[in-house]
């Protein structure tokens, strides 16, 4: 994965450069948005980390310039505590995710692993011409997180050309987040508190927690099922796990500024940014998401 870091803090740039190289990715950096935009056009990175407050060109302007060029590059906002309005504004401008300062390996490394999987499958994606006006599919898979980007990519292939290319990345990220929730919080019964503690304990604490839960044969045998349907108006994905569910009716609003750093609902927050409807059903182990399709242009 090719990554661009844009930040005017030299110590943070150096930390990110060394950390990202440790994970085997190619990485370049810039000290402000103007330099960052020049490098972006030259290097065409897969993912960008950018600060908001920078000289010459701030992160908002830089993000806007990127989106004028492409909708498919992943952009992650790097911001400090107390910058909730900046995060929300960046998301409204089509940023894909955010990262809080100070940055630690136990948060950065899982983030890189997640988006590396998305980029890898996306780079192999070949757009297919879809002559069908309706389509359906059912996918069932086990509790390997590394399978999720491939499952999502395969499901998006079923949509053919119905979803515009500039919308695909956001939908892909939303589906990855919800399927990850289905495995972690559904099938493996990992609470948000346990996940947070694992992340604080070790940079690969989440992987160790997964391995521990998978030693339970009852949990390991559970599966995630995704039902996909498409017609001329919309695409719908219904994601079901075999866990105990949760009280989804009392789920806090993940779009509220006070909940941005709450691990409860982060995946839902990212999904709702890019998908028109996100609806939990039954006892909470089933979520239905729907994306409206653009109307064909009149000739």
pLDDT per position in the chain (299 positions), as tens? 999 999 999 999 999 999 999 999 999 999 999 999 999 999 999 999 999 989 889 989 999 999 989 888 999 999 886 678 888 888 888 899 999 888 999 999 999 999 998 887 766 544 444 455 678 999 999 999 999 999 999 899 888 778 888 888 889 999 999 999 999 999 999 988 888 888 888 778 888 999 999 999 999 999 999 999 999 899 999 999 999 998 887 776 666 666 666 656 677 777 888 889 999 998 889 999 999 988 765 44
Q: Are residues 83 and 207 in the same domain?
A: no
Q: Are residues 173 and 47 in the same domain?
A: no
Q: Are residues 247 and 195 in the same domain?
A: yes
Q: Are residues 201 and 87 in the same domain?
A: no
In a domain, 113, yes or no: no
Q: How many domains does the chain have?
A: 2
Q: Are residues 214 and 247 in the same domain?
A: yes
Question: Cβ neighbours of residue 79 under 8 Å, at least 6 residues apart?
Answer: 51, 52, 86, 87, 90, 98, 99, 100, 101
CA distance 12 to 237: 39
Closest CA to 182 of 61, 268, 65: 268
Domain stop point among 60, 88, 103: 103
In a domain, 118, yes or no: no
Q: Are residues 279 and 137 in the same domain?
A: yes
In a domain, 8, yes or no: yes
In a domain, 122, yes or no: no
Per the structure, the complete domain to which residue 283 belongs is given by 127-292
* pTM, rounded to two decimals: 0.73
Question: Cβ neighbours of residue 123 under 8 Å, at least 6 residues apart?
Answer: 46
The CATH number of residue 17's host domain is: 3.40.50.2300
In a domain, 121, yes or no: no
CA distance 38 to 168: 25
């Amino acid at each position: 994965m090719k990554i661009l870091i844009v930040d005017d803090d030299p110590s943070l740039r150096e930390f990110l450069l060394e950390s990202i190289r440790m994970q085997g990715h190619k990485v370049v950096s810039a000290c402000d948005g103007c330099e960052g935009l020049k490098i972006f056009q030259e290097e065409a990175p897969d993912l960008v980390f950018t600060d908001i407050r920078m000289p010459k060109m701030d992160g908002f302007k830089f993000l806007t310039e990127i989106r004028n060029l492409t909708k498919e590059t992943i952009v992650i906002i790097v911001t400090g505590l107390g910058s909730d309005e900046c995060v929300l504004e960046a998301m409204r401008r089509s940023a894909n995710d955010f990262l809080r300062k100070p940055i630690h390996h136990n948060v950065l490394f899982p983030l890189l692993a997640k988006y590396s999987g998305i980029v890898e499958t996306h780079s192999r994606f070949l757009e297919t011409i879809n002559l069908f006006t309706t389509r359906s599919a059912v996918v069932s898979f086990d509790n390997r997180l590394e399978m999720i980007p491939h499952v999502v990519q395969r499901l998006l292939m079923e949509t053919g050309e119905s979803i515009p290319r500039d919308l695909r990345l956001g939908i892909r990220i939303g589906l990855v987040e919800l399927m990850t929730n289905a495995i972690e919080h559904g099938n493996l019964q990992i609470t948000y508190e346990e996940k947070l503690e694992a992340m604080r304990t070790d940079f690969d604490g989440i992987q160790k927690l997964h391995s521990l839960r998978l030693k339970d044969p009852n949990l390991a045998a559970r599966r995630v099922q995704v039902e996909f349907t498409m017609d001329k108006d919309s695409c719908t994905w219904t994601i079901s796990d075999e866990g105990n569910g949760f009280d989804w009716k009392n789920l806090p609003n993940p779009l509220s500024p006070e909940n941005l750093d709450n691990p409860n609902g982060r995946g839902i927050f990212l999904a709702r940014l890019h998908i028109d409807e996100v609806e939990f059903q039954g006892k909470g182990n089933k979520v239905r998401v729907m994306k409206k399709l653009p109307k064909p242009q009149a000739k």
